[in-house]
Amino acid sequence: SQELEQSPQSLIVQEGKNLTINCTSSKTLYGLYWYKQKYGEGLIFLMMLQKGGEEKSHEKITAKLDEKKQQSSLHITASQPSHAGIYLCGAGGGGQNFVFGPGTRLSVLP
Amino acid sequence: DTAVSQTPKYLVTQMGNDKSIKCEQNLGHDTMYWYKQDSKKFLKIMFSYNNKELIINETVPNRFSPKSPDKAHLNLHINSLELGDSAVYFCASSQGVNSPLHFGNGTRLTVT
């Protein structure tokens, strides 16, 4: 079955700094999804990537999928306290069960 | 309007009891899921239903039984609760298996 790894496991940054979270798959991805989770809440869908080399942006968050479709990165520019939470990558589709990475816990210090 | 809603939000119960968690989605999605998030925040799929039919049943004790009375509802019934069942359970839905999942806010189950 497909497995996803994320790095780093946790991240503490000063407000205003840029940061990157990585997600690596053991198999070629059909679809790669990024979610954010705040404590005590459900997962909020951020972005979905399906094509090799694809890049999408929403406000200050940019996600990329590499050409081989086995690695994705999530980049946050000029981080704010509102960006704090757990970021999870998920993969599924194309007949594969939907699975999640272990998550990256982000703290942003004001 | 809440897209995916699950109740209760918190559930504290003793070992050996039977409990249910309800989930409803008003997105018109065909597929619904149950996920379990353990203390390390790792999310694992438990079940998936498509149009009221079970399509994924991961290695879950048969004490856990999902029930889908209609396309908009997927309830989770747990028999003979054990300490290790303590976790946060998330319901989710999607429009087909190639679309993003939309999650409820979770039910925190504590078994004492």
Q: How far is B78 from chain A (nearest CA, A)?
A: 21
pLDDT at B96: 76
At residue B68, the 3 state secondary structure works out as strand
DSSP state of B15: T
Return the HEC string of B17-54. Answer: CCEEEEEEECCCCCEEEEEEECCCCCEEEEEEEECCEE
Could you tell me how far CA B70 lies from the centroid of its own chain?
15
pLDDT in tens, A33-65: 999 998 778 899 999 999 999 999 989 999 999
pLDDT at B1: 60
pLDDT in tens, A8-33: 999 999 999 999 999 999 888 888 99
Q: Enumerate the residues of chain B whose CB falls inside 8 A of the CB of residue A42.
A: 4, 90, 103-106
pLDDT in tens, B67-104: 999 999 999 999 999 999 999 999 999 987 678 899 99
Mean pLDDT of chain A: 92
Cβ pair A35, A101 in contact under 8 A: no
Q: Which residue of A has its CA nearest to B97?
A: A93
Length of chain A: 110
Mean pLDDT of B2-27: 95
Other C-beta atoms closer than 10 Å to the C-beta of A39 total 9
pLDDT at A2: 67
> Which of the four pLDDT bands, split at 50, 70 and 90, describes residue A95?
low
Degrees, nearest 5: CA angle A6-B103-B63: 90
